[in-house]
Structure 1
């Protein structure tokens, strides 16, 4: 049995357990802990509350993966948002002890939080890339978007997020500034005659990336509409598949996992190579960028020092 299959089976158990648990957020001492921590043994994690997006509770690389790969079972899981303000504020205010937060989130550095190492590569590579309706991926559209991917770096993501999240600048303005600095704001006709609807997930980085794609294509003659802040992958993926939207910024590893829960690819190259076979026929990915934004288990500096945490594996130790 491969690791992904084992994690998927564990996820089914977690889902059944969580459905029987108290569904409301509250004190970590009330109700049956989500993730089946009752009777899980006395570990550091069993005394802590983990927060993250609802899908993290059943994703193969979420709660089930933490249990399967690291033997880590938290005392409670709280459904919040995808690395957004609910999760960040809950960690900052002590409502949760650990959080699933994206590695490019500027709040990590701003709050001196600690990203726990992932030595077993539970979280696969997450390179930013365009996911697009196959019919709309003309040579001109591909050339425009591939040029964006060729310039986009992880450092760029961090800087873009700092401007939007910390400094509260307008994502569209931030996108335009990045395109200008990258030399990608020139007008042309590469995408002339193409009409696209570009969507985004409901977190700031994805909104900024959608604006970058939209402005780059508009500058090259495309007619572009946007539907931003659609929601989670479970909400926007059906819209991509039925043609309601044509293009969205995606992340390679979690995209592969969404369509193939048994995928075992971890590295950037392996994940990207596996995507074409996993995707539905009407969807395709263009070239991936160097930029990565991975899930990470993040704790406060105080929690890390109290329990001696540097790695996810440390959470399975006895306190």
Structure 2
């Protein structure tokens, strides 16, 4: 799983051979509990295909994990925040998918992909000059974070800063570095960071403050950030969160556009849900699908979290529906 510790698979609140699938046809045969509830309907057997499509989360199971710039409060100034907000204004999920495709599929470097995107989307135009000086933009250790960090570097350079990107690692490493000012900026994810900071300041028993409502999530995030000396820019429309994908031929055969469609038409014995081993118990994975949508798969196949095993199982016809990440470059249509 990616190092940003996605809360959607946390206890609380996008290719491997298909040989990883063992006994997918029998409920619970992959080493996990059989799905909760009655799945006695016919269900929807897998349909192989190369193009994956994400089903709309029409009942808002997932929280608002929008990309947002996080900034050391002592380093922050209006010109810096305005420059970073230009990046947020240019991003949405489809564009983030294309950026990930450029790096993970087309094999461009994060730097090149970011610079091409910045040019095509006019990110540097009209940026006001700030006071200048050296700025270190942190990046977590996965490509999407590096791409976003490079976009921030481009914008900050246009604002007159001597900006560079430094890969730090996971949140447990880079968040303290941001607090201390060892890095000044890093791309973050609103819901995940909100609950991380709440847990850090309020302890493990602190209730999560993230929700499907972006405004509420960001309001809670800003309050939590004030306690540790971190401010946040404008959230983008780009989200990287748990999503549920099927092949395009599967969606066409069963006439599916939303998860509600999936629940209505495909609850039953023939339907195979694929995801990470913890998915059946997680509130943003299978447990949430049952609770929010009343979707009951016939069996669960224990694979990975939005990775090559799950995507390979979908494409080969070994799984009906699988957990992916909403900004995965493999979801690009061109």
The normalised TM-score by structure 1 is 0.62
CA 1:92 to 1:221, structure 2 compared with 1: closer, same or farther past 3 Å? farther
- Distance (Å, rounded) in 2 between the aligned partners of 1:172 and 1:153: 19
Q: Which residue of 2 aligns with 1:216?
A: 155
Is 1:283 matched with 2:283? no
- Distance (Å, rounded) in 1 between the aligned partners of 2:155 and 2:124: 6
Work out whether residues 115 and 296 of structure 1, in 8 Å CA contact, stay in contact via their aligned partners in 2: yes
Alignment coverage as a number of residue pairs: 233
Q: Which residue of 2 aligns with 1:15?
A: none
- Distance (Å, rounded) in 1 between the aligned partners of 2:21 and 2:53: 17
TM-superposition CA deviations, 1:121-176 (whole Å, max 9, x none)? 45311111100001111111111111221121212101111111100012111111
Is 1:236 matched with 2:174? yes
TM-superposition CA deviations, 1:164-200 (whole Å, max 9, x none)? 1100012111111111112123486612423211011
Q: Which residue of 2 aligns with 1:250?
A: 188
CA 1:318 to 1:154, structure 2 compared with 1: closer, same or farther past 3 Å? closer
TM-superposition CA deviations, 1:235-267 (whole Å, max 9, x none)? 211211222111101111111111125124321
CA 1:149 to 1:116, structure 2 compared with 1: closer, same or farther past 3 Å? closer
Q: Which residue of 1 aligns with 2:86?
A: 147
Which consecutive residues of structure 2, in runs of 5 or more, have no partner in the other structure? Answer: 25-29, 31-48, 200-206, 251-265, 275-284, 300-334
- Distance (Å, rounded) in 2 between the aligned partners of 1:179 and 1:134: 26
- Distance (Å, rounded) in 2 between the aligned partners of 1:172 and 1:64: 35
Q: Which residue of 2 aligns with 1:263?
A: 208
Give the number of the structure with larger relative contact order, counting CA–CA contacts within 8 Å between residues 6 or more apart: 2
- Displacement, 1:317? 5.1
- Distance (Å, rounded) in 2 between the aligned partners of 1:316 and 1:154: 28
Work out whether residues 152 and 291 of structure 1, in 8 Å CA contact, stay in contact via their aligned partners in 2: yes
The normalised TM-score by structure 2 is 0.59
Which consecutive residues of structure 1, in runs of 5 or more, have no partner in the other structure? Answer: 1-51, 67-82, 84-88, 99-109
